[in-house]
Structure 1
Amino acid sequence: MTDDAAGDHDGDDAAPDDLAWETFGTDIDYSCPGFDVRRDDVRLPDGTETDFHYVDEPPAVVVLPFTPDGDVVLVEEWRQAVGRVNRGLPAGTVEDGDTDLATAARRELAEETGHEAETVEQFTTVEPANGFANSVHHYFLAHGCEPSAEQTLDFNESIRPVTVDYDAFRDAVLAGEVRDGRATLGVSLYEARRE
């Protein structure tokens, strides 16, 4: 359980919130590659005991990668849940062998796009769907990205790397033409940071 689940907001040392639920049991109801469905046995603030199911997955990194010319490296990937090819940012799970989050960001960029970055820098962390998942996404900027590695995909990844003009992609994101949540959030937060 995270500190937030125990009532500690954003890592501060405040007393437990009267909105907090008490977790007195937990188990995995379903497991598959990439995530589990976890069931927590909880006691609500009014004393009601019930259960709560959510997607339980490891932390992930999301990379906004720029070439030396200022273009952005994207992935076009088949997304079965929505039945179409999606254009988004390279992203993936933090693995046990990763020494830190930057290592994971560099690895995912290379595996999915065949590009390696001169520099990587973390710029934000978000919980994109904390109403039904414990996902934590760590966003990185990568600069000086060159196609110098070999793309190595998982068995269930269908990915085509593409390099596009960043301004055109940003404009498409801000116009609502890009539906990928990680890309939309990453570009929007990057632009807000630049202002």
Structure 2
Amino acid sequence: MENKLKRLDRTIAFEGEVVDLYKDKMQYPDGSIHNWDFVCHKKGYGACILPVLPDGRILLIRQFRPAVDDTILEIPAGGIEPGDESTLVCARRELVEETGYTSDEFSHLLRIQVAVAYCNEWLDIYLARNCEKAASGKQLDEGEDISNEVYEVGDLMKMISEGQIQDAKTVAAITAYAAGMGRE
């Protein structure tokens, strides 16, 4: 398919700690010119984990998210760091840091693009089976206040359908797992 939408210019409007905001000048197929916003995530990508306990229940975290001014139930996640060779290294670290659990059984579940209309960020979602408490416990970053909660998959699917879980990465991970993608 031929791309009929053309970027004519991109200028930076704001430089932040995590993201930069750009203004794009776009030419539509009819020749008209329009301004679009583009959010450039500085790291570009990260990892998330769907932690499954030995009994099959799912371990989620609850934390306050200032962007939506609410406490959100979600899967553990984090951005890639300079020493990470892969998103798997990031996933292993974030699982311990945010939940105090660890696993020796990681598998890649899926990759999602977070907001393709205006942002370049993508996430690898891993399944961590047979999660057990780590000897180190949680290792939260400064400013993090995270609690753990455990649920049955069926209960989580109901919570998604009722709008109680709306975080995109969490919805994607749970529904992919429930659909059988995480089963061997």
Same fold, TM-score > 0.5, yes or no: yes
Contact (CA 8 Å) 2:109, 2:173: kept in 1 or not? no
TM-score in terms of structure 1 length: 0.79
SS at match of 1:104: helix
1:40 aligns with one of 24, 27, 32: 24
Q: CA deviation at 1:46?
A: 4.5
Contact (CA 8 Å) 2:50, 2:127: kept in 1 or not? yes
Matched, 1:53 2:37: yes
RMSD of aligned residue pairs (Cα, Å): 2.3
SS at match of 1:183: helix
SS at match of 2:47: strand
Matched, 1:168 2:152: no
Distance in 2 between residues matched to 1:40 and 1:96, nearest whole Å: 29
TM-score in terms of structure 2 length: 0.83
Contact (CA 8 Å) 1:66, 1:142: kept in 2 or not? yes
Q: CA deviation at 1:59?
A: 0.5
Q: CA deviation at 1:51?
A: 4.1
Cross-structure match for 2:14: 30
Cross-structure match for 2:3: 18
Identify which range, 120-129 or 153-162, moves more after superposition. 153-162
SS at match of 1:193: coil
Structure 1 residue ranges without an equivalent (≥5):
1-15
Identify which range, 155-164 or 179-188, moves more after superposition. 155-164
Distance in 1 between residues matched to 2:169 and 2:87, nearest whole Å: 17
Q: Which has the higher strand share?
A: 2
Amino acid of the residue matched to residue 16 of structure 2?
A: C
The count of aligned residue pairs is: 179
Structure 2 residue ranges without an equivalent (≥5):
none
* CA offset digits 1:85-112 (Å, max 9, x no partner): 1111111112221111111111111111
Matched, 1:125 2:111: yes
Cross-structure match for 2:180: 193
Matched, 1:154 2:138: no
Q: CA deviation at 1:185?
A: 1.8
The 3 A distance-change label for structure 1 pair 96 and 46 is farther
Q: CA deviation at 1:193?
A: 3.5
- Tell me the percent identity: 25
Contact (CA 8 Å) 1:174, 1:188: kept in 2 or not? no
